[in-house]
Structures are given as C-alpha cells and as structure tokens.
Amino acid sequence: MSGGKVVAPVTQAAVDAVTGWKNSVDGIYQRQVEAFAAAAPPGDRNARVQAAIDRAKSQLGVPYAWGGGNANGPTRGITDHGGPADAHGDFKKIGFDCSGLMEYAFAGSGANVHRPAAAEAGQGPHVPLDQIQPGDMVFYAGAGGKGHIHHVAMYIGNGQMIEAPQSGLNVRIVPMRRDNTLVQYATRPIP
C-alpha cells in the first residue's frame, strides 16, 4: 500500500503490452508513409518536382492566411493574438501561410512536408544555394539568415520562387530574394 492505495507491481506482461502497442502504432504509421509514397505520381524526380510546382501554381492569387493551409488545400487562418495577422483579418480568411502552401504543393508529389517553416527546413537533404534546383525549398530567417527561420518558399527555376508571402498579400511568383535574411542552404524534399 502506498498512501492508502494498493499499488500493483509492474509486470513484464504490462511492459510487453505497452511495447507491443507502441510497435503496432509505429507499424501503422510506417504503412501510411509507404502508402502515401506509393501514391506519388509515377515517373522520375523531374515529374514529381513538376507536380509540386504545378500544384503550388494552381493556388496563385489565393489569400495569405496565417496558420492556413494543409495537404488538402487552403484552410481558415488562425489568430496571432492581436498581431499583424489579426490586423489583416487572417483568422477570417481561407488561404495559405508559407508553410501550409509548401505542405499542399509537395503532397501532390508524394513528398511528406509538414509545417512550420522551421521544421520544413529539416525535411529533406540540405543543398548549397549554388546547387539549387526547381522544387527546392528556400528559407528566410532573422540575424543575417542565421536566426529563427520564419519564412519558406519554393524555388521554381529561372531565378523565381512561389510563396505565400505575408498578411495582406496573395500567393505569388516573384524573383528569389537574395537579401541578408536568406538562409544559406535549400532543402530538397524530393531528392
């Protein structure tokens, strides 16, 4: 007894049951990942990259909505508790933020990319910017590109990128910004 309660000892059977449950969940997740990858468009890397670019381009003109978007498309934005997104009414809009647009675009190619932008930076191999290819994600951060990552866009070739830029603007294609906030690597979600 402990504090008036009967405490049962932990048995090996209980440990095995929990371990078996965890392995079962891990197995289900792995099967889902494999099924998602198998559902990717057939073809080589170039076809998969083009599918991601085309899917992103299909959203040109959709409003920016902070916290908006997922693998299935645009969603309602969320509040930033009195910040700039709220001032633009993002929580009332259906749209994408930068990482939601990437999640949507890459879902059409079989690549598994999930928000936020700082997490997306680790969802594929890093490549130096002088080796950037269409379909690579580029990132922007404070402190000369070395601080916290706050923005992501997709490089689409010819010096251009597609992005959901910020509150008050829409999904757009622009020249790739090479300012002092550009992180000095890209991430390649479709290796």
Q: Which residues contact 110 (CB under 8 A, 6 or more apart)?
A: 36, 37, 39, 40, 41, 48
Beta strands in 54-171 (DSSP E): 75-76, 94-95, 126-128, 137-141, 149-157, 160-163
* 98 belongs to the catalytic site: yes
- Furthest C-alpha separation in the chain: 73
DSSP 131-155: G--TT-EEEEEHHHHTS-EEEEEEE
Q: Which residues contact 2 (CB under 8 A, 6 or more apart)?
A: none
Among residues 88, 103, 120, 151, the one annotated as catalytic is: 151
The SS3 assignment for 46 reads helix
Among residues 98, 103, 148, 150, the one annotated as catalytic is: 98
Among residues 88, 103, 120, 163, the one annotated as catalytic is: 163
Tokens for 90, please give them.
């993002």
* 151 belongs to the catalytic site: yes
- Catalytic site positions: 98, 151, 163
